[in-house]
């Protein structure tokens, strides 16, 4: 199995993605869909960050706005406050951590990059919810995760009508990547947006055709961890969806995923180890 070598410039260093890497999720939110990712105290934040880094996470993705359907609205100021609190705690103890900030607001992105040196902005809306996001990314000179979603976290699950979901998501990515390139943004990661404005069947259609996204010639991120497309299929819940997550992550790696965004870093790293051995055989 041949994997094209891709690179990202993160914190002024070139990161080789010839072997897939793991992004650990740390949310400072009271209402994230998986309660194991909710970190609202300094102790829980530090404990989560230290475990993820020790288990092999290359990147920590920090969120201050739950995007589960239908998430409650969070003000810009509150989101900045939540994210800043987490970043201050983590970077004080782990100053070399590669930080991604999960936000669709350019003001939050600007604050995180200018004040905390965030290396990546993870935008669930692909720039559709804030017209200034792409310019902000270009000005900051950071990497950008371009995810596909329709609508917003409050209404996205009412917007699942597609002709051919794979071709429509690919076309969205192609157009947005072209816009980013015109602004001089080259460190782009694509995320098909599993669970965002998609039915269970549509999510699996995207996972089945994930290899098509390699045509975009940028790294692919798969965010499948403990999502409803897994636990609803198995008639369980997010708490009991670790085994399903591991199975889905392996399918994503087989489809060409370069980054796994997960709640459970150790298990994701083990999945990558097995996948790498399989590829060498």
Query: 208-235, pLDDT tens digit by residue?
Result: 999 999 999 999 999 999 999 999 999 9
The answer to whether 85 and 50 have CB atoms below 8 angstroms apart is: no
Distance CA 260, CA 269 (A): 9
Q: Which domain holds residue 72?
A: 19-280
Average pLDDT, the chain: 93
H or E element in which residue 252 lies: helix 242-254
Query: 33-75, pLDDT tens digit by residue?
Result: 445 545 568 898 999 999 999 999 999 999 998 776 666 788 9
Active-site hit among 105, 110, 198, 261: 261
Active-site hit among 105, 214, 226, 227: 227
Q: Is residue 13 part of a domain?
A: no
> What's the number of domains the chain is made of?
1
CATH number of the domain bearing residue 32: 3.20.20.20
What integer pLDDT is reported at residue 2 of this predicted model? 40
Question: How far apart, in Å, are the Cα atoms of 184 and each of 98, 143, 179, 188, 189?
Answer: 22, 11, 9, 11, 15
Q: Is residue 4 part of a domain?
A: no
Query: 102-141, pLDDT tens digit by residue?
Result: 999 999 999 999 999 999 999 999 999 999 999 999 999 9
The tokens describing 119, both together, are 């290396």
Q: Is residue 256 part of a domain?
A: yes
- How do 13-16 and 21-27 pair as beta strands? unpaired
Question: How far apart, in Å, are the Cα atoms of 191 and each of 88, 157, 177, 252, 259?
Answer: 27, 18, 12, 11, 9
Q: Is residue 2 part of a domain?
A: no
Q: Is residue 3 part of a domain?
A: no
Q: Is residue 109 part of a domain?
A: yes
Q: pTM to 2 decimals?
A: 0.93
Q: Is residue 11 part of a domain?
A: no
Active site residue 261: yes
Q: Is residue 7 part of a domain?
A: no
What integer pLDDT is reported at residue 79 of this predicted model? 94
Query: 182-195, pLDDT tens digit by residue?
Result: 999 999 999 999 99
């Amino acid at each position: 199995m041949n994997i094209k070598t891709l690179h990202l410039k993160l914190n002024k260093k070139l990161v080789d993605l010839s072997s897939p890497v793991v992004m650990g999720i740390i949310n400072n939110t009271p209402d994230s869909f998986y309660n194991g990712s909710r970190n609202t105290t300094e102790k829980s934040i530090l404990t989560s960050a230290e475990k993820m880094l020790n288990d092999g996470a290359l990147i920590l993705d920090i969120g201050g706005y739950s995007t589960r359907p239908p998430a409650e609205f969070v003000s810009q100021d509150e989101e900045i406050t939540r994210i800043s609190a987490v970043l201050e705690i983590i970077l004080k103890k782990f100053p070399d951590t590669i930080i991604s900030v999960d936000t669709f607001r350019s003001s939050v992105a600007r604050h995180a990059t200018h004040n905390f040196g965030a290396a990546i902005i993870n935008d669930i809306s692909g720039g559709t919810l804030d017209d200034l996001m792409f310019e902000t990314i270009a000005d900051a000179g950071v990497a950008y995760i371009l995810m596909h979603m329709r609508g917003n976290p409050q209404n996205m699950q009412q917007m699942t009508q597609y002709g051919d979901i794979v071709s429509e998501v690919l076309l969205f990515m192609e157009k947005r990547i072209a816009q980013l390139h015109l602004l001089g943004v080259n460190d782009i990661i694509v995320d098909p947006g599993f669970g965002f404005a998609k039915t269970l069947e549509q999510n699996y259609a995207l996972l089945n055709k994930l290899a098509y996204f390699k045509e975009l010639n940028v790294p692919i991120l798969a965010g499948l961890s403990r999502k409803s497309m897994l636990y609803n299929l198995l008639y369980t819940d997010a708490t009991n969806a670790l085994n399903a997550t591991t199975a889905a992550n392996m399918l994503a790696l087989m489809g060409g995923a370069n980054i796994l965004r997960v709640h459970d870093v150790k298990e994701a790293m083990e999945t990558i180890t097995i996948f790498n051995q399989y590829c060498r055989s």
